[in-house]
Amino acid sequence: MTNRKATHQQNSVLNGVKETMPELQKSVKLTQQAALIGFDWPTIDPVFAKMQEELQELKEAIATGDREKIKDELGDVLFVCTNLARHLQQDPQQALKHANQKFERRFRAVESAAKQQKPQLSQYELDFLDNLWDKVKILE
């Protein structure tokens, strides 16, 4: 008798997804492969709906304080984000790199402005920093 689980694994469209891939790429590849047999949303709207669902589940997990459940739900949110990137024909790794660079550039400008305006402080009120952040964004 054939092991049913082994047979399913041997014939899966997911078999081409390498375990060693970076996780962002891997999640895109998993959804690409699943789409080959029709497991995909036809438009982007259901992806946004799924994202809202997963965010709600994350909020609920946070309310429980269960770190494993939080990790599980946060992973689901990130997975949906990579699926959104695929639907938008964007590389999530490149999008995240761009976001990191933008954050760093803006934060450095905020930090510099904060030090110029209040040089006696080493830590600032969030409202003050948010105000500077908004100004930096407008200048870009």
pLDDT tens, residue by residue, 101-131: 999 999 999 999 999 999 999 999 999 999 9
CATH number at residue 28: 1.10.287.1080
Whole-number pLDDT of residue 10: 74
- How do residues 39-96 score in pLDDT, each as one tens digit? 999 999 999 999 999 999 999 999 999 999 999 999 999 999 999 999 999 999 999 9
Give me the residue label for tokens 């006696």: 120
Enclosing domain of residue 104: 91-140
Q: What is the pTM of this model?
A: 0.85
- How many domains does the chain contain in total? 2
Any domain includes 33: yes
Asked if 136 and 97 sit in the same domain, the reply is yes
> What is the pLDDT averaged over residues 9-29?
92
Q: Which pLDDT score, from 0 to 100, does residue 1 have? A: 41
CA 47: distance to chain centroid? 13
**8: helix, coil or strand?**
helix
- Indicate whether 108 belongs to any domain: yes
Query: By C-alpha distance, which of 33, 13, 29, 9 is closest to 21?
Result: 29
